[in-house]
Structure 1
Amino acid sequence: MTLPIDEIASRLEQAWQTRVPIQPLSEESGLCTVEDAYAIQQSWVRRRLATGDRITGRKIGLTSKAMQQMMGVDEPDYGVLLNSFSIPVTRGVGEVDMSRLLQPRVEGEIAFLMKKPLRGPGVTINDVFNATEAVAAAVEIVDSRIRDWKIKLVDTVADNASSGAYALGSWHTRWQDLDLALAGMVLYVDGRIQSVGAGAAALGHPAVCVSWLANKLGEMGEGIEAGDIVLSGALAGAVSVQPGQNVCLQIAGLDAIMLQFPSIQEQR
């Protein structure tokens, strides 16, 4: 049976616009292959670009062994970063537009800013080092258009790897002075520690994740472009967040980020 790729992408878009989640695509639509899931993701991205949005980079998910085991897979997945996903940050503080989110969770990550393109196959961690302009602490807000986060791998891939929004700290160009594998991360919600991790949680080193992405995109006839932002994967588990809360991310050697999650009424 041929899946209605564009129709499914339209359902995901409607769920995003109305903030009403849908049932798992793996149950209702018969979605069962990762190839079809990426085709749905690409169709959804084309819809966003047609509205005037633009691609700013990529995000990598499922970079921890624990998450891969939970999903029953042996490699990460990826999604597309769009300009509309970016949260403005001024002096380390940003405010989240809650009207765009359904069931958000926050993750602490290390973002890479690329100065050179990377195209697989054969991209190594050293290639990533040479192609990276700067790194920054990043809060990714993962969100799901699938009801109650009842997702399988194909559900999250089709749903743009469960992307919601992202915020970046200041870029550090002398990042090679840091050992990103050993960089400790603490994520606070309302001043309380909710998540602790380190760079090594992402495939042993965040740059390994970026090399995986370049090689995976190469299989699809695509690549990482100069100027792209790459969110390299969560350094610990995702944490649910509610309107009215504040989130603070600290990663050793990088500037901290504070995000405010006001209620929708407060933002009107």
Structure 2
Amino acid sequence: MSWDTDRAAAVLLAAEDHRTDRAPITDDWPGLDLDTAYAVQGETLRRRLDRGEHIVGIKLGLTSRAKQERMGVAAPLTAWLTDGMLLPAGAPVPHDRLIHPRAEPEIVFVMKDRLAGPGVTAATALAAVGSVHGGIEVIDSRYRDFRFTLSDVVADNASSGRFLTGPVGMPPETLDLAMEACLVEVDGQVVDSATGAAVQGHPAEALALAANELGRRGLAIEPGWLVLTGGMTDAVPAPPGTTVAVHFTHLGSLHLTGG
């Protein structure tokens, strides 16, 4: 059977629904290019909406220079957030719904204004932000051992799993986001740290890139949406029984239990 956008979307959503990992799609469909991968991502979104989920924002992936160099790309990728991915405060990682979850700290924007590319700069992007929060994204690739190409991960909605945001929200103008630091703890031991500068040099740069990439496809970032600006550190495994905590300088602390 030949591959196309519909088949790829169906295969990826079935893997997610049944918690079964698989080889990268490009193993079977080597002609999957980036534009087609975004079409697959869009089709998986359409199917999520058809089953009752609602868009709540977007996320960025590959925002660190090191990850971009590893994947051979010059800019981050974008993907969708729906309410089905939102993890309520205090809820454990839902291992019965995920394959091999990993957690990473994020700086999260809540938008007050619509942001549409092209031509968005970091300054104009930040001016459209209503509040800034700390967050944790629980990523969960449908690909075995997190092995994939750039097209594979775009099609897979940038390894979306679950996410949570902290209760502390601050106006962006009150923070030096490049210097906003976080500590990552696993079972009480600090395992990593970073500042907002790890995200494209400044999280607002990532937001601008997202707006411009969406603008290229005729889309925009809407008021009220959440924007996860990308992992500040490498993701840490979050198996059952593990507790992950992230402590920000000004944006409070978040705790995630492995269930």
Q: TM-score, normalised by structure 2?
A: 0.97
The residue that corresponds to 2:248 in the other structure is 251
* Distance in structure 2 (CA, Å) of the matches to 1:110 and 1:41: 23
State how 1:103-142 maps to structure 2 within 5 Å: 103-142=100-139
1:12 has 2:12 as partner: yes
Q: Which amino acid aligns with 2:244?
A: V
Amino acid across the alignment from 2:77: D
Alignment of structure 1 residues 151-190 onto 2, 5 Å: 151-190=148-187
Whether 1:96 aligns to 2:93 is yes
Q: 1:144: Cα distance to partner? A: 0.4
d(CA) in 1 for partners of 2:103, 2:22: 21
What's 1:53 paired with?
53
- Figure out how many residues of one structure are paired with residues of the other and give that number: 258
SS at match of 2:26: helix
1:193 positional shift: 1.2
**How many Å separate the matches in 2 of 1:3 and 1:14?**
15
Cα pair distance change 1:252/1:31, threshold 3 Å: farther
Counterpart of 1:266?
none
The alignment's TM-score, normalised by the length of structure 1, stands at 0.94
Give ranges in structure 2 of 5+ residues lacking alignment: none
Does the 8 Å contact 1:25/1:31 carry over to 2? Answer: no
Deviations, residues 119-156 of structure 1 (Å, cap 9, x unaligned): 00111111122111101101001110011111110111
**Percentage of pairs with the same residue:** 38
Q: Distance in 2 between matches of 1:203 and 1:83?
A: 26
What is the Cα-based RMSD across aligned positions, in Å? Answer: 1.2
- Equivalent residues in 2 for 1:233-248, closer than 5 Å: 233-248=230-245
Output the amino acid matched with 1:112. F
List structure 1 segments (4+ residues) > 3 angstroms apart after TM superposition: none
Whether the 8 Å contact between 1:79 and 1:160 is mirrored in structure 2 is: yes
The whole-number CA distance in structure 1 between the counterparts of 2:74 and 2:218 is 22
- The secondary structure found in structure 1 opposite 2:78 is strand
Secondary structure in structure 2 of the residue aligned to 1:94:
coil
| Matches of 1:65 and 1:238, distance apart in 2 | 15
- Paired residue for 1:265? none
The amino acid across from 1:54 in the alignment is H
Over 3 Å counting, the alpha-carbon distance change for 1:46 and 1:132 in structure 2 is: same
Distance (Å, rounded) in 1 between the aligned partners of 2:68 and 2:165: 26
One-letter code aligned to 1:60: L
Deviation of 1:3 after TM superposition, in Å, equals 4.2
In structure 1, distance between residues paired with 2:16 and 2:61:
20
For structure 1, the 5+ residue unaligned runs are: 263-268
